[in-house]
Amino acid sequence: MSTLETRLQAFLTEHGLAEAELSTPPQADFGDLATAWPLKQAKLAKQLPLAIAEAKQLELVAEQPAWLAEISVTPPGFLNFRFADHALWKQALTVPEPTQFTGGKIVLEHTSVNPNKAAHIGHVRNGVLGDSLARLLRAAGRQVEVQNYIDDTGVQVADVVFAEQFLGQEPPVDQRVDYWAWDIYSQIQPALTENEGLRHQRDEVMHLLEQRDPVWAARAEKLSSAILKRQLETFARLGIGYDAAVFESSILEAGLWRQTFEALQNKGVIKQETAGPNAGAWIIPFGGTMTLEDGSKKSLDKIIVKSNGTATYLAKDLAYQLGPAKFGVITAPLKYNQQSQPGSKNPLWSSLHGQSQAPVGGAEETITLIDQRQRYLRDVLREALSALGYPVLAEHDQHFSYEVVSLSPAAARDLGLDVADAVQSVTMSGRKGIGIKADDLFDRVRLAIVERGTDANAADLLTRAAIRYTMLKVNPETELVFDFEEATRTTGDTGVYLCYAAARAQSLLKKGSKIENADLDSEPLEKTERALLLALSRTTDVLNQAALLRSPSLVARYVYELAGRFTNFYEDPLVGPIVRETNADIKNRRLQLVAATYSQLIYLLDLLGITVPSKM
């Protein structure tokens, strides 16, 4: 069914206002939607905008459809439209559903935390955005496969495995392995920076991992598997699961990197430098140099294989992108094992020592969700795809970029850091061990919720709601300055408030008598009633916009608005208390509004991965 907004747009197009853009008027009494079309036309038509508006008004009123109650004009030349209440009712009581998109499979990669440390709040932003985007795209009819890429052969894992040997430390039994690794990883960094010999040893470890040396590969696997297990549990607390875990080691073992390397050579995309600063390395030649502040010069070519023979992150990512897990233009077999995953009924296809075929990969389109620092690398990757002869695939690879999470000075001090007063925010750094671990945050948020007397099950769900909403309500391109006081808040513009609104609605429905065939138009609506009704009727339009822009944040902000409208209605002395209303028609229509609000809130919150506890 077309929405009221699209019907109005079509109506205007029929009457020569094809370019009319609709917006919400600043005051509800002007109308439900308005256009400034007459103002735009004034110069072209050489008439006063008000005159144009009034002429157009007459023309439109002559053919005014039943679903429009009023077409009015306000200075200096706005055309305003008010929908008929019965049309709003019809729209609001229809289950919202975004327009269905067509297209092949989307492989959406998110989370992808290095399996060498505990997940921190920056990873949480990634996972929440990714999981919510997957839900939104699926609601809009797309087939989405969510992959978690496990970089188990990279330098970060090498660092911890090496540190484990070098520092002679074993993961203690009484401590979480991901927390232990977090500390070990940052502890080894200064030594690696200062001591070149040590660095060489570490590089040798990395080389052995890449060559799949049995001893070192086994060590790395033991560690990274244990850490990954913890990370999956962490994300499960937010209701985040995956369709597949694709391991870098399996990509190497399947020979995908070797094939990619050959293709890059054959197509002349890369070349080996014989002289200069990059001697011995394989590079994508961009040419040119840049001059640093100290006057020294640096090559702008991008290294694919280091002079010591190990591949860079970009190289392995290219093999992943081209291989069967994503676009599948390089067809070495990649096999999987089916596993259970925490907090999800769906199985997880894991490529680690995979043994069977699985319905993974074969993407028409890929979305890679990584923070904006990776922008340049994603651009280079797309350029390499193009150069290899896959310009269409390059276009079908999208980078969903978001800004990092940094720490407020208070949050940084909370970690024991010495922060100057003038500092605005503190960047997290895994290498320095500066950051807030996801589970630590969850525990603190949960504690704040439990302190209000919430039972365990509800507290878990509310924690999830609070965290997810915190990450979603902010525009992804805005740096998120994290603060404990704000994150643990249970009032105001929070996920808890959204759940509260839904819980109130549900409780009201339990107490109110059964909704019969109410005469919805028997008495005029109160202002807050109509504002709520109007919001309910707009939901499908908002979802369409959000799906088109691939913006879960848009949904999040709209849910807050909807919850606010409901609260205004609920608290309105002209409306409540509803269950004591004596006029049956009015009571029933109000309960009808509550029912619609409740089902829409549940539906929208589910798109955000938020489940409302029935009691809180």
Partner RNA sequence: GCGCCUGUAGCUCAGUGGAUAGAGCGCUGCCCUCCGAAGGCAGAGGCCACAGGUUCAAGUCCUGUCAGGCGUACCA
Q: Enumerate residues 433-452 that contact RNA by CB under 7 A.
A: 449, 452
Q: CA 230, CA 353: separation in Å to the nearest integer?
A: 20
Q: Enumerate residues 345-374 that contact RNA by CB under 7 A.
A: 372-374
Q: Which of 483, 526, 585, 606 binds RNA (CB under 7 A)?
A: 483
Q: CA 450, CA 73: separation in Å to the nearest integer?
A: 53
CB closer to RNA out of 330 and 428: 428
Does residue 539 interact with RNA by CB under 7 A?
Answer: no
Q: Nearest approach, Cβ of 157 to RNA (angstroms)?
A: 9
Cβ count within 10 A of residue 302: 20
Q: Which of 489, 533, 547, 597 binds RNA (CB under 7 A)?
A: 489
The residues, any chain, with a CB within 8 Å of residue 139's CB and separated by 6 or more, are 97, 98, 543, 547, 607
Q: Enumerate residues 559-578 that contact RNA by CB under 7 A.
A: 560, 564, 567-568, 570-571, 575-578
- Record the tokens describing residue 552, joined without a space: 């879960």
Q: Nearest approach, Cβ of 356 to RNA (angstroms)?
A: 27
Contact characters 22-41, RNA, x per CB under 7 A = -xxxxx--xx--x-x--xx-
Does residue 42 interact with RNA by CB under 7 A?
Answer: yes
Does residue 278 interact with RNA by CB under 7 A?
Answer: yes
Cβ count within 10 A of residue 145: 22
499 touches 610 (CB < 8 A): yes
121 touches 158 (CB < 8 A): no
Q: CA 245, CA 225: separation in Å to the nearest integer?
A: 11
CB closer to RNA out of 219 and 358: 219
Q: Enumerate residues 307-336 that contact RNA by CB under 7 A.
A: 307-308, 310, 312-313
- Record the tokens describing residue 269, joined without a space: 């995309």
The residues, any chain, with a CB within 8 Å of residue 350's CB and separated by 6 or more, are 244, 245, 247, 336, 337, 338, 339
Q: CA 255, CA 455: separation in Å to the nearest integer?
A: 52
Q: CA 259, CA 239: separation in Å to the nearest integer?
A: 37
Does residue 3 interact with RNA by CB under 7 A?
Answer: no
Does residue 190 interact with RNA by CB under 7 A?
Answer: no
Q: How many residues bind RNA (CB under 7 A)?
A: 103
Does residue 375 interact with RNA by CB under 7 A?
Answer: yes
CB closer to RNA out of 74 and 225: 74
Contact characters 82-111, RNA, x per CB under 7 A = ------------------------------
CB closer to RNA out of 144 and 159: 159
Q: CA 65, CA 71: separation in Å to the nearest integer?
A: 11
Q: Which of 453, 456, 517, 582 binds RNA (CB under 7 A)?
A: 453
CA distances from 376 to 8, 370, 373 (A): 43, 12, 7
Q: Enumerate residues 494-523 that contact RNA by CB under 7 A.
A: 494, 496-497, 500, 503-504, 506-508, 511-512
Q: Nearest approach, Cβ of 328 to RNA (angstroms)?
A: 22
CB closer to RNA out of 268 and 277: 277
